Amino acid sequence: MVRPLDLKRLGLGLAALLSTAALIWFGTGLAPLWPLTWFAPVPVLLFAIDAPMWSAAVIAGLAMIFGMLNLWGLFFGALEVPLPIIARIYVIEGVMFALAALLFRALARRQAWWAALLSFPSFWVTFEWLLNVTSPHGTGGSLAYTQLAFLPFLQLASITGPWGMSFLLLAFPAALAIAVRLRTDAPRQGLAVLGSTAAVIGAVLLFGTARLLLPSSAGTPLKVGLVASDGPNEHVADPGTAADELFRAYEARVLALARQGAAVVVLPEKTAVFTEADAARIDAGFQSLANESHVTIVVGVLRVVERGGARPQRLRYNQARIYSAGGPVRTYDKEHMLPPFESNLTPGTALTVVSSAAPDNLWGVAICKDMDFTELSRRYGEAGAGLLLVPAWDFFLDWIQHGHMAIMRGVESGFSVVRSAKGGSLFVSDDRGRIVAEISSNAAPFTALLTSVSQRHDKTAFLVLGDSFAWVAVVILVCCLARLMGLTDPRLQPAPRPEATP
């Protein structure tokens, strides 16, 4: 016979599971509704405090897994990720979320409320940091990206990168769960925990609002152009006739943008296969256009290099070729590859910095997935780049979820971003994360965008501090674990024996 208490606990568990899963589903994913993410963990954290350990773990883990099903179409459809790998991704995310909830539960049951508050976000940020340094996807799984549209909060990235954003994003629901749990037994302590957390978030939002109101980088705005083509040009054009025709079509659009005042035009990633036999002809065409129109052109290609000798090699590079008026052809080789699609490509190792016509204005070049990593963009920021030119190629579905990640790199390292992607969107964002202009890449057979943006570098604290806040989270987590080891759950203590009566 099922006891009433079991039925009540089962009902509460299912309600918590479904509530958190729904909030994760709509608050993250391909087009996140950012306010929902702030409340998503609250139901499972409230349930976890008084639930048995295994019940708390299962409810929390399943809530994360069910919520992350919003990415199933991207994983299984667009990216064609094998089912075993998808299963591993979901299991890891579910297990980590369950462990974070269990640590919160353990400290809360011991009435270590402040440690419980800090344990939940520090655990998750430590997990995100470990993914960043071990996974080929870098920061791609960070919850911070759900907040790109929350511009005052996004400014925190200029100090802490995504790590501080994820920390506060999860500290708030932990504080709210504690305040709700203590509303009758110790309301003042609950309000102290929630009030302190809200005060920190309020200070961050005041900083962010002030940063948005203050003028960003000084200097004359630069007119930039972007061109991309989907449809028949969705795939990499073969060398020879197909590549020549595509490049001629792009040259016509570049010329039109240059006549409208564009000083730089960015084309997408891997427009065509670029062989040694075609190099002189294609380079001559774009270089002539750059010289005559006084425009810098960035063209993404799949470069194939044949090397002879005792052991002939055929090397492939995901490369951006830069043509500037009166200058030599510059190149940049993509550093971070997307497995398995680019596992056969040779990664680059060096930055490419281009001097603009204006003094002290430098431009950097990166390619698509490079923008998932804080370190590469930080190197460009340290070099003084005020504008990052990014050829890219998205998978249609992820034009917001992945494409807009580049926006945060500009906030962190103090530059505007010009990102031209086929299979996604063409956009320009400034060093505050504001999208200056954006258009879908399939808006026309050849979609073009022309706008003005600052090209001045903005110094940020993140350039000095780097990813140090991730290490702060690790230290906090260690302290929380040490605190837990020194405490005993009073609910597990044996009841005191009654005193003997004479």
Classify residue 480: in a domain, yes or no: no
Q: Is the dihedral of CA 104, 106, 111, 112 positive or negative?
A: negative
Which of 190, 214, 238 marks a domain boundary?
A: 214
Which region holds residue 204: left if phi is over 0, alpha if psi is between -120 and 50, else beta? alpha
* Number of domains making up the chain: 2
Which of 214, 245, 268 marks a domain boundary?
A: 214
* Strands, E assignment, 163-308: 222-228, 264-266, 273-274, 296-307
* Strands, E assignment, 47-128: none
Do residues 364 and 405 share a domain? yes
In angstroms, the CA 226 to CA 253 distance is: 9
pLDDT digits (tens, 9 = 90+) for 16-47: 999 999 999 999 999 999 999 999 999 999 99
Do residues 239 and 191 share a domain? no
Classify residue 332: in a domain, yes or no: yes
The alpha carbon of residue 342 and the mean position of all alpha carbons in its chain are separated, in whole angstroms, by 20
Classify residue 372: in a domain, yes or no: yes
Do residues 25 and 143 share a domain? yes
Do residues 333 and 252 share a domain? yes
pLDDT digits (tens, 9 = 90+) for 166-178: 999 999 999 999 9
In angstroms, the CA 431 to CA 285 distance is: 33
pLDDT at 306: 79
- Residue 125: how many CA atoms within 13 Å on its side-chain side? 30
Q: What average pLDDT does this structure show over 213-239?
A: 81
Can you give the CATH number for the domain in which 257 is found? 3.60.110.10
Label residue 13 by pLDDT band (50, 70, 90). Answer: very high
**257: containing domain:** 222-457
pLDDT at 377: 96
Do residues 179 and 297 share a domain? no
Crossing angle of helices 162-181 and 83-109, in 10° steps, is 50
DSSP string across 142-192: -GGGGGTT-HHHHTTHHHHTHHHHHHHHHHHHHHHHHHHHTTTT-HHHHHH
Q: How many helices (H) and strands (E) does the chain have?
A: 17, 13
Amino acid (one-letter) located at 217: S
Which region holds residue 149: left if phi is over 0, alpha if psi is between -120 and 50, else beta? alpha
Do residues 148 and 230 share a domain? no
pLDDT at 107: 97
Backbone angles phi, psi at 391, to 5 degrees: -65, 145
Say whether pLDDT at 1 is over 70: no
Classify residue 479: in a domain, yes or no: no
In angstroms, the CA 278 to CA 409 distance is: 35
pLDDT at 5: 62
pLDDT digits (tens, 9 = 90+) for 263-280: 999 999 999 999 988 888
Classify residue 136: in a domain, yes or no: yes
Classify residue 331: in a domain, yes or no: yes
- Residue 495: how many CA atoms within 13 Å on its side-chain side? 3
* Average pLDDT value for the chain: 92
Say whether pLDDT at 201 is over 70: yes
pLDDT at 2: 53
Do residues 209 and 283 share a domain? no
Say whether pLDDT at 502 is over 50: no
**Both structure tokens of 497:** 């024996």
Q: What average pLDDT does this structure show over 152-160?
A: 98
Strands 435-440 and 296-307, how do they pair? Answer: unpaired
Which of 214, 249, 282 marks a domain boundary?
A: 214
pLDDT above 90 covers a percentage of the chain that reads 82
Q: Is the dihedral of CA 395, 398, 404, 405 positive or negative?
A: negative
Classify residue 228: in a domain, yes or no: yes
pLDDT at 40: 98
Do residues 195 and 340 share a domain? no
3 state DSSP class of 118: helix
pLDDT at 493: 55
Label residue 314 by pLDDT band (50, 70, 90). Answer: confident
Reported as type and span, the H/E element at residue 379 is: helix 374-383
Do residues 171 and 229 share a domain? no
pLDDT digits (tens, 9 = 90+) for 356-375: 766 668 999 999 999 999 99
Do residues 247 and 123 share a domain? no
Say whether pLDDT at 4 is over 80: no
Do residues 344 and 410 share a domain? yes
Label residue 216 by pLDDT band (50, 70, 90). Answer: low
In angstroms, the CA 277 to CA 279 distance is: 6
Classify residue 243: in a domain, yes or no: yes
Say whether pLDDT at 72 is over 90: yes
Do residues 151 and 272 share a domain? no
